[in-house]
Amino acid sequence: MGVLSNRISREALKPGDHIYSWRHAYIYAHHGIYVGEEKVIHFTQGGGQEISIGTVLDRIIFSSSPSHPSQRPCLACGDQSRLGGVISSCIDCFLAGGDLYLFQYGVSPAFFLAKARGGTCTIASSDSSEVVLHRASFLLTNGFGVYHIFQNNCEDFAIYCKTGLLVITRISVGRSGQAASFLAATSAIVSSPLRYLTTSFSGLAAVGYGMYCFSRLVSDIGVRRDVEKVPVERLVTVGMDSGVDELDAESETDSLIPQKGTSI
């Protein structure tokens, strides 16, 4: 593994690892937590529509569910094509024919920026495998709220299991590097006033890429300041969908939430 690829063999996996697999010609990746014995706990939208945006465009997006309706159901998992929420699958169903990659934690800012594609690493540090497995198992039973492509997706689930960190604001609860990269690219293309400082193609490219890198960096869970470490039991008690304001208010007065996210 390195800057060029996070690909890993199954034999090298350890329980508590955050793994992912690219879907549909690297358009996006599906993420989960490897729990051992060839099993993965992951967060999915019903019917496998992990990149559904609720518009007519969804009709042209292929399903990324672990078990596609047109395929014979897995002997180990059964038919999971219509399941949504936090589920457990065998690693073959999770990969859905794709390659296996390991998400990296505790990387340096330079390494983070060298990985031009988001959703592959973070500056934040991982907790111990025991804590990670506890969170994943607890959420398998209790859920992780409603799936949302930009605010609460499969990568958000895996990052929370690994770090316990949540972005607590009244606008969103999001941690996803993939979503941050998409928004950073959009911002760099359409809203950068700095693009008017140069007229050359190389200058425009440099300015745009600089804006993209800066936006990705400041959006990383290991850098941003609007982050709290939330115990999984409290997360489920308050609720992912209706309790954002409550978590935000509690974070100001309740010492049971131990610390803010790491920043640089």
Task: Find the catalytic residue in 30, 31, 68, 148.
Answer: 30
Matching residue, tokens 């465009």? 57
Contact 106, 124 (CB under 8 A): yes
Does residue 181 contact residue 118 with C-beta atoms inside 8 Å? yes
Asked if residues 259 and 166 have their Cβ atoms less than 8 Å apart, the reply is no
Burial class of residue 85 in the structure, from the number of CB atoms within 10 Å of its CB (0-12 exposed, 13-18 middle, 19+ buried) = middle
Residues recorded for the chain: 264
Comparing C-alpha atoms, which of 101, 212, 214, 107 is closest to residue 158? 101
Please pick, among 18, 31, 42, 148, the residue that the annotation labels catalytic. Answer: 42
CA angle 136, 142, 146 (to 5 degrees): 95
The two tokens of residue 235 are: 């997360």
Task: Check if 154 is active-site.
Answer: yes
- Alpha helix positions (H), 12-60: none
Respond yes or no: is residue 74 known to be catalytic.
no
Q: Which of 77, 93, 121, 154 is catalytic?
A: 154
The pairing of beta strand 101-102 with beta strand 165-167: unpaired
Active site (catalytic) residues: 30, 42, 154
